[in-house]
Amino acid sequence: MRLTHPPAVAIAPLLLALCLTAGCRRAAPDGVALVGATLIDGSGGPALPDAAIVVRRGHVESVGTHAGFQLPERTVEVDVGGRWIIPGLIDVHAHVEPWALPRYLAWGVTTVRDLHGDLDSILRLRGDVNGGAVPGPRIYSAGAMIDGLPTTYPDAIGANSPRDARRAVDRLVNAGVDLVKVYTRVDPTLLKAVIDEAGTFNLRVTGHLGLTDALTAAREGIASIEHLSGVPEACMADASSLYAAHYRGFFPGWTAFERSWAGLDSAALARVAEELAQRRTLLVPTLVLHETFSRLDDPAVLRDTMLRAVPELQQQRWNVPDMVRRAGWTDQDYPAFRAARPQQDRFLRQFAAAGGRIATGTDASNQLLIPGYSEHRELQLLVGAGFSPRDALLAATRNGALILGVDSLGLIAPGKAADLVVLTRDPLADIHNTLAIDRVMSRGTLLSADSIRKAW
Ligand SMILES: [Zn+2]
């Protein structure tokens, strides 16, 4: 709402009151016009050169071209000529910790979907950030994940029967989660109960599957699947060895799952890709996780200079050698993990060709996955898998919003949330250019990426 030429009589007492209390200053600007950049708006349509985007009070007010643009009142013009603007990036597979927040913003990730943490701490952090007390990306959270018994991680909510599973969902609903995540020891019977109960509260369910294959989960109505989990199991005539490995724990399950890809039948992969696409199950492949774990025998991975962005204490907590020891990974495992990658890429191409939609997720802040930066690695890996830069960007913007079920994100258009990234180079020409970040707008506030960064 703006006060333009109000009736003088009615406004006079108000002005007098304002002059007495505020010293009769002119009203401060509350809008920003970004003028001159090429806009890639997240719709997948053609880019708009020489655009003028007006943002006010956290929302996009108007989008047009520079030609004929008139600066509205109370609006500051910012020249972004020769630059590119994309919607703020969305990481839909995160485990958010306080140290990660400025990294997300500095790397243009303005929304994250948190998929498990200590229930109370993550919901408190979500409240602090979304309420504006602490700067950071918008946080949507599953709270604590639901797992079969015994739970793989101590802070998951365990369920041993459909009744337990419904109770677990109710507890999460009462705590105020945005979605529900199930973990590897959830079998089809438990999953069915979780999806049904969550559905009565209009909450979506996503899964890192183990004891349930991807097609069974899709047929039960799971909204999305993390890490391409359950896909090999759906392709195999007998997946009992994989189920046994998932039941033993996360690392045995991951190792057997990753090793299985290279031997999968290509016709079976195509069949699974097609049915998942047909059922509109969204996939969050987290290629950066597969890729990182497949290269742990390369000393360069542990010496990556980008790790300077991770606090020393956090790197100690990560303790990668200890993780490798706990996983029991040897020099024979890594080549097998790497052999999975072309198969995963091919599966994603088949899924997309059948009309399936994928969204970018990273699994940061798990070991070696740098919050914010990993999102750009995921984009690069999607392009490496055969996606165009435009489609990779859609996975990181519009499809992220789709997975969240939040219509106001992932698109730069009037009425949408004012989250965007200003780049100095064209991301459609080379996806690496998403790292050429000049400024980031989060909730309508324009930040210079360098001002958020400290030593990193
Ligand atoms: Zn995760």
- C-beta separation of 92 from 113 below 8 A: yes
What secondary structure letter does DSSP report for 71?
P
The whole-model pTM stands at 0.93
As a whole number of Å, the CA-based R_g of the chain is 24
pLDDT tens, residue order, the chain (456 aa): 333 333 333 334 444 444 445 445 578 999 999 999 999 999 999 999 999 999 999 999 999 999 989 999 999 999 999 999 999 999 999 999 999 999 999 999 999 999 999 999 999 999 999 999 999 999 999 999 999 999 999 999 999 999 999 999 999 999 999 999 999 999 999 999 999 999 999 999 999 999 999 999 999 999 999 999 999 999 999 999 999 999 999 999 999 999 999 999 999 999 999 999 999 999 999 999 999 999 999 989 888 889 999 999 999 999 999 999 999 999 999 999 999 999 999 999 999 999 999 999 999 999 999 999 999 999 999 999 999 999 999 999 999 999 999 999 999 999 999 999 999 999 999 999 999 999 999 999 999 888 888 777
**From ligand 1's centre to the CA of 208, what distance in Å?**
8
- C-beta separation of 19 from 11 below 8 A: no
Residue 41 makes CB contacts below 8 A (sequence gap 6+) with 48, 63, 87, 411, 412, 413
**From ligand 1's centre to the CA of 95, what distance in Å?**
6
Q: Where are the beta strands (DSSP E) in 80-213?
A: 84-87, 89-94, 109-114, 138-141, 146-148, 157-159, 180-182, 205-207
**Paired tokens of 439:** 């400024």
**Paired tokens of 268:** 């079976």
User: In whole angstroms, what is the distance from residue 445 CA to residue 416 CA?
Assistant: 14
- C-beta separation of 97 from 25 below 8 A: no
pLDDT given at position 13: 43
**From ligand 1's centre to the CA of 364, what distance in Å?**
8
**From ligand 1's centre to the CA of 96, what distance in Å?**
10
End-to-end CA distance of the chain: 41
Long-range contacts, stretch 210-214, CB < 8 angstroms, 24+ apart: 210/183, 210/184, 210/185, 210/186, 210/243, 210/246, 210/247, 210/253, 211/148, 211/184, 211/185, 211/186, 211/187, 211/243, 211/246, 211/247, 212/186, 212/187, 212/188, 213/239, 214/272, 214/276, 214/281
> Amino acid letter at 215?
L
- Chain mean position to CA 356: 17
- C-beta separation of 410 from 398 below 8 A: yes
**From ligand 1's centre to the CA of 66, what distance in Å?**
43
**Paired tokens of 261:** 């890809």
pLDDT given at position 25: 59
**From ligand 1's centre to the CA of 116, what distance in Å?**
7
User: In whole angstroms, what is the distance from residue 89 CA to residue 395 CA?
Assistant: 9
pLDDT given at position 116: 97
User: In whole angstroms, what is the distance from residue 8 CA to residue 226 CA?
Assistant: 60
If 0-12 CB within 10 Å is exposed, 13-18 middle and 19+ buried, where does residue 163 land? exposed
Reply yes or no: is the peptide bond before residue 448 cis, omega within 30 of 0.
no
**From ligand 1's centre to the CA of 101, what distance in Å?**
17
**From ligand 1's centre to the CA of 146, what distance in Å?**
13
